Amino acid sequence: GDSVTQMEGPVTLSEEAFLTINCTYTATGYPSLFWYVQYPGEGLQLLLKATKADDKGSNKGFEATYRKETTSFHLEKGSVQVSDSAVYFCALETSGSRLTFGEGTQLTVNP
Amino acid sequence: DGGITQSPKYLFRKEGQNVTLSCEQNLNHDAMYWYRQDPGQGLRLIYYSQIVNDFQKGDIAEGYSVSREKKESFPLTVTSAQKNPTAFYLCASSDGTGADRQPQHFGDGTRLSIL
């Protein structure tokens, strides 16, 4: 079945550091890929998405590229801020509109 | 503003009781979903509905029930058969089909605890 594996957390960085959160997937067919962010006590917000190989999703300084050859969708940001502290979820969607989520990665950014 | 409203934000249940979580959306989305989130884990799909009067089991449907009598509403009942109901429950909705399908939009969740 479909699955998503995220790098284990938590991740702690200083402000302005470079961020990478790894995400790899296993899926039949050609999934769409997503990164969602969850702030404390809230639901999930869509951060970015990519629907086909080599697409790059980007939003708020975050980027991720759909790599079919390595089945990966790593999240990157060049300079993190304290306000980026949250839990980040990688997810995939195949047919039938069902999302499969990774375990989530807690990011803490210190001033 | 359009969005998804989940209520209540916090809910307490006694052992052996059924409890219903509300999810209402005014986005005119056809599809709605219920997920369960446990600490340190990703979201797991409980039930989903792609159209009014129709719904399907997700990965962890045992001990839960749903209805979809109206397009804007998708309530989830946690029954006494659910042995470990303490969790954060998230409702989502989406629209479109195939290549036009839009990403799922989430509510702010309901935290259910057992007294």
- Is the pLDDT score of A96 beyond 70? no
Cβ-defined contact of A97 to B43 (cutoff 8 Å): no
Q: Which one of B41, B99, B104 has the shortest CB-CB distance to A103?
A: B41
Whole-number Å distance between alpha carbons of B65 and B43: 18
A61-81 pLDDT, tens per residue?
999 999 999 999 999 999 999
- Is the pLDDT score of A98 beyond 90? no
Reading the block at residue B45, the tokens are 């799909």
CA distance A75 to chain B (A): 17
The mean pLDDT value of chain A amounts to 93
What pLDDT is stored for residue B83 in this prediction? 86
- pLDDT tens, N- to C-terminus, chain B (115 residues): 569 999 999 999 888 899 999 999 999 999 999 999 998 788 999 999 999 999 999 999 999 999 999 999 999 999 988 889 999 999 999 987 666 677 889 999 999 998 8
Strand intervals (E) in B2-80: 4-7, 10-13, 19-25, 31-37, 43-51, 54-57, 64-66, 76-78
- Is the pLDDT score of A26 beyond 90? yes
Which DSSP category does B16 fall into? T
CA distance B1 to chain A (A): 16
Would you mind telling me the total number of residues written for chain B in this entry? 115
Q: Are A58 and A9 in contact (CB under 8 A)?
A: no
Whole-number Å distance between alpha carbons of B43 and A79: 28
Q: Are A34 and A59 in contact (CB under 8 A)?
A: no
Q: Which of residues 68-107 of B touch A (CB under 8 A)?
A: 90, 92, 94, 99, 101, 103-107
Average the pLDDT over A53-63 and give the result.
96
From the list B76, B62, B63, the residue with the least C-alpha distance to B33 is B76
Which DSSP category does B2 fall into? -
Reading the block at residue B90, the tokens are 């998230």
What pLDDT is stored for residue A97 in this prediction? 74
What pLDDT is stored for residue B115 in this prediction? 82
Tokens 């503003």 appear where?
B1
Would you mind telling me the total number of residues written for chain A in this entry? 111
What pLDDT is stored for residue B60 in this prediction? 95
What pLDDT is stored for residue B100 in this prediction? 67
Specify whether the backbone of B46 is left (phi greater than 0), alpha (psi in -120 to 50) or beta. alpha
Q: Are B82 and B64 in contact (CB under 8 A)?
A: yes
